[in-house]
Structure 1
Amino acid sequence: MSLKSFAAKLFAQYIHNTTQKWADNPIETQKKVFEDLIRQAKETRFGKDHQFADIKSYEDFQKKVPIRDYEQLRSYVDEVVKGKENILWPGKPIYFAKTSGTTSGAKYIPLTAASMPYHIEAARNAILSYIHETGKADFVDGKMIFLQGSPILDEKNGIKLGRLSGIVAHYVPQYLQKNRMPSWETNCIEDWETKVDAIVEETINENMTVISGIPSWVQMYFERLKEKAHKPVGEIFKNFDLFIYGGVNYEPYRAKFENLIGRKVDSIELFPASEGFFAYQDSQKEKGMLLLLNSGIFYEFVKADDFFNENPKRYTIGEVELGVNYAMILSSNAGLWAYNIGDTVQFTSMKPYRVIVSGRIKHYISAFGEHVIGKEVEAALQEAMQGTDIRINEFTVAPQINPKEGLPYHEWFIEFENEPTDLEAFSLKIDKAMCKQNVYYDDLISGNVLQPLVITKVQNNGFQEYMKSIGKLGGQNKLPRLSNDRKIADQLNKS
């Protein structure tokens, strides 16, 4: 065992003990975070507008601060972007994470001196939790790659801005700098395909032990490695044993990855976003990710079924239930208040509080009242693939309301890497699994309102070409698992 891996184990024990203290006292931890946030922000413009000085309880906060999304908070954010101080949080942000909005063009999410360290600590602690549980630490001696956006930052009124992953690249600890790949120059390449080719050239002869990124883009990297070396990734990188991912569910990709790698590797799931780092997988044995209750974020939850009602009930951490689909609302030391991030979660454990990401509050299919969510389509596909050699590269689902003939249906666009011998039988397996996942869908199928789902095969690299056509190839961009309209479907049908 090297000195570095020995030190990592000691540090992992320390972080585990520290984490246990707040994880064992979740309600008290969140109460303290809430009180600290209100106290620190009461002299800001937002704090004065919403009488933070008079807030003595969570109930007071609920009455004074409504749930908002980016558009509804935008008047405040625009003032921050102009360079004004003490608007949402004391002083000015140190960065803006620039993301693409659906209705507002670019979104500028503030990152403050108070919030930024938690993004870095959470990613580090996820790895340390893995070391503590498994005892595996030798990988720290090898090379690690983090597929991310360009670290080149722009500036707006004295505040630097860029993609979150590019900002985080500036905070890689000194002790990881020698191990980290790709090079700064390669990381700065904007064109994703050119960047992946450059990363392949840089890494193919290295001792890669940890690989991290959004599964769909890591898949492209693995495919190009295999194409160049003419052997599985696991043979190219004999000591590669840990895959770290976030952004999308890994399960639909797992069979394809294991085929590309040639063997199984451990994985750690993360739940990061520009608005905060919310959770990470703290156990290889338990389902879900540890919700970070001590990271400058106060959480509220609204049942997804009630979210679009007027004044839906808001729940705190002590009031949530297992297995319920919640929209996650946050207030943070980045200056976001009762902010709807758009993600939905379900709790898998309450001791400690663990969650899975179940989808997006706006990404669902309910063209016929079924309200199908991302978690359900992923679980149905996974069940249908179980015990087969079917492998998929990517998929998305949309409603077909006006078919040329017959009843309406859900259309599944799937890019197969290894397709089923009987496509119709496979589609029926998915459909039966969907009926188990969603009782409303089952009622529509059994009531002959919908016909069973239809699979439309997407040509090889079809999804990559689609993402490229809309300027969202690579980086942190993700394909929606499902849509309630046919914008994506119509584009895929054209190709």
Structure 2
Amino acid sequence: MSIKSIAAKLFAKNIYKKTQLWARNPVATQQAVFESLINDAQQTQFGKDHHFDQIKTTADFAKQVPIRDYEDLKPYVEKVVKGEENVLWKGKPLYFAKTSGTTSGAKYIPLTKESMPYHIEAARNAILHYIHETGNADFVHGKMIFLQGSPILEEKYGIKFGRLSGIVAHFVPRYLQKNRMPSWETNCMEDWEAKIDAIVEETFDENMTVISGIPSWVQMYFEKLQQKGGKPVGKIFKNFNLFIYGGVNYEPYRAKFENLIGRKVDSIELFPASEGFFAYQDSQKEKGMLLLLNSGIFYEFIKSDEFYNENPRRYTIGEVELGVNYVLIISTNAGLWGYNIGDTVQFTSLKPYRVIVSGRIKHYISAFGEHVIGKEVECALQEAMEGTNIRVNEFTVAPQINPASGLPYHEWFIEFDPEASGEPDNLEDFAEAIDNAMRKQNIYYDDLIVGNILQKVVVTKVPKNGFQEYMKSIGKLGGQNKIPRLSNDRKIADFLSKNS
């Protein structure tokens, strides 16, 4: 065993012990975070506007600080963007993570000197927990890659702007610099397709051991590797044994990835966002990701079926239950207060607190009162594929409210993988398997089918690269951009229908 492997294992053991200290005291940990945030932000514009000096309890906070999304917080953010200090958080942020909003154009999410280290530590600690549990540290000798956005940053009023993944690229630890790929020049390329081609050329003959990124875009990289090498990725990279991902559920992609790789590899799921790094998979044996309760973020949770009530109850960590769908609300040391990030979560464990991402509060189908969420469609597809050779590259679901004939229905747009013999023999049978799985999970959907309000699922095949063409058409090909699993309208569906 090399000195590098031994050092990694010792470091991993130390981090594991530190994690246990706060994970075993979740309520006290969150209370300490809450008190620290309120105290540090009392003299900010936001703190004064919301009487932080009078807030003593989380109940006081819920009364003083309403739930906000980006649009609601935008007047404060705009002041910070223009260079004002002590607005949402003390001083000025180090960076703004620039993302594309659906209604507000560009969104600017602040990253402060207090919040930035947690983004880096969380990603590192996820790997260290894997090392501690499995004893596998051999990958530290190989090359690692994260498919990410350009690290080129702009600067205005002394604050740098860029994509989160590009900002994080500036914080790669020195001990990983020699292992990191691709080259800086390739990472700076904006054209995603050209960038992937360049990454394939740079990495093809390297000893790649760790590969990470959003599954849909890693899949594109793997397909190009396979085309170039004429063999599975696992034979091109013989020591590749760890896939790290975030942003979307890996399960719908797993069978496809195993086919592309040619064997199974371990995986680690992350839950990062511009607003904070919320959770990571701390165990290969347990379901869910460890919620990071000591990372400068105070969490509140609202039951998703109560979210649009006039005054929904805001639960703290000691009040949550297993299996309930919650909207995640955060207050952070980057100056986001009572902030709705749009994600919904469910707890899979309360000792310690582990979560899965169940969907987006705005990404659901409830055209008929069924309130179908992302977790349900992903599980239904996975169940329909079990025991078959079917492989799915990508999919999305939308309601068809006004069909040319018959009852309305949910239309599933699926890009299968015919090259791996991954198409269903009978599309109607496959659609029925999906429908049956949906009905078992969602009683409202089942009632609509039984009551002849809806007909069963209809599956529409999308041609190869159809989803990539859609993302290209809206200027969101590659990087951290993702296809929504669910839409309550037919914007995506209409594009795919015309091109199917």
Q: TM-score, normalising length from structure 1?
A: 1.00
What residue number does 2:41 align with? Answer: 41
**Partner Cα separation in structure 1 for residue 103 and residue 478 of structure 2:** 21
The correspondence of residues 251-290 of structure 1 with structure 2, limited to 5 A, is 251-290=251-290
The correspondence of residues 110-129 of structure 1 with structure 2, limited to 5 A, is 110-129=110-129
**Partner Cα separation in structure 1 for residue 231 and residue 2 of structure 2:** 30
Pairwise CA RMSD: 0.4
**Partner Cα separation in structure 2 for residue 354 and residue 469 of structure 1:** 37
**Partner Cα separation in structure 1 for residue 73 and residue 474 of structure 2:** 27
Shift of 1:274: 0.1
SS of the equivalent of 2:83 reads coil
Amino acid at match of 1:246: G
Shift of 1:156: 2.1
Answering whether residue 464 of structure 2 is matched by residue 460 of structure 1, we say yes
Answering whether residue 392 of structure 2 is matched by residue 392 of structure 1, we say yes
Q: 5+ residue gaps in structure 2?
A: none
What residue number does 2:452 align with? Answer: 448
Shift of 1:158: 1.6
Answering whether residue 474 of structure 2 is matched by residue 470 of structure 1, we say yes
**Partner Cα separation in structure 2 for residue 171 and residue 158 of structure 1:** 19
What residue number does 1:430 align with? Answer: 434
- Post-superposition Cα deviations, 1:99-118, rounded to whole Å, max 9, x if no partner, equal 00111100000000000000
Match of 2:492 among 460, 466, 488: 488
**Partner Cα separation in structure 2 for residue 3 and residue 294 of structure 1:** 31
Amino acid at match of 1:430: I
- Post-superposition Cα deviations, 1:241-292, rounded to whole Å, max 9, x if no partner, equal 0000000000000000000000000000000000000000000000000000
Q: 5+ residue gaps in structure 1?
A: none
**Partner Cα separation in structure 1 for residue 182 and residue 277 of structure 2:** 23
SS of the equivalent of 1:136 reads coil
The correspondence of residues 354-369 of structure 1 with structure 2, limited to 5 A, is 354-369=354-369
**Partner Cα separation in structure 2 for residue 156 and residue 372 of structure 1:** 42
Answering whether residue 294 of structure 2 is matched by residue 302 of structure 1, we say no
What residue number does 1:189 align with? Answer: 189
- Identical aligned pairs, as a percentage? 80
The correspondence of residues 28-107 of structure 1 with structure 2, limited to 5 A, is 28-107=28-107
Shift of 1:447: 1.0
- Post-superposition Cα deviations, 1:201-239, rounded to whole Å, max 9, x if no partner, equal 000000000000000000000000000000000000000
SS of the equivalent of 1:366 reads coil
- Post-superposition Cα deviations, 1:168-193, rounded to whole Å, max 9, x if no partner, equal 00000000000000000000000000
Shift of 1:63: 0.8
Amino acid at match of 2:492: I
What residue number does 2:323 align with? Answer: 323
Amino acid at match of 2:115: S
**Partner Cα separation in structure 2 for residue 196 and residue 123 of structure 1:** 23
**Partner Cα separation in structure 2 for residue 2 and residue 308 of structure 1:** 56
SS of the equivalent of 1:9 reads helix
Q: Which moved more, 1:152-161 or 1:390-399?
A: 152-161
**Partner Cα separation in structure 2 for residue 419 and residue 407 of structure 1:** 27
Answering whether residue 443 of structure 2 is matched by residue 439 of structure 1, we say yes
Answering whether residue 316 of structure 2 is matched by residue 312 of structure 1, we say no
- Post-superposition Cα deviations, 1:106-156, rounded to whole Å, max 9, x if no partner, equal 000000000000000000000000000000000001000010000000112
- Post-superposition Cα deviations, 1:5-60, rounded to whole Å, max 9, x if no partner, equal 11000000000000000000000000000000000000000000001011111111
**Partner Cα separation in structure 1 for residue 408 and residue 469 of structure 2:** 28
**Partner Cα separation in structure 2 for residue 4 and residue 354 of structure 1:** 31
Which segments of structure 1 move beyond 2 Å, counting only runs of 4 or more?
Answer: none
Amino acid at match of 2:431: S
**Partner Cα separation in structure 1 for residue 59 and residue 470 of structure 2:** 46
Shift of 1:372: 0.1
What residue number does 1:209 align with? Answer: 209
**Partner Cα separation in structure 1 for residue 415 and residue 163 of structure 2:** 28
Shift of 1:493: 1.1
Amino acid at match of 1:482: L
**Partner Cα separation in structure 2 for residue 446 and residue 76 of structure 1:** 49
SS of the equivalent of 2:494 reads helix
Shift of 1:437: 1.1
SS of the equivalent of 1:365 reads coil
What residue number does 1:413 align with? Answer: 413
Shift of 1:97: 0.1
What residue number does 1:225 align with? Answer: 225
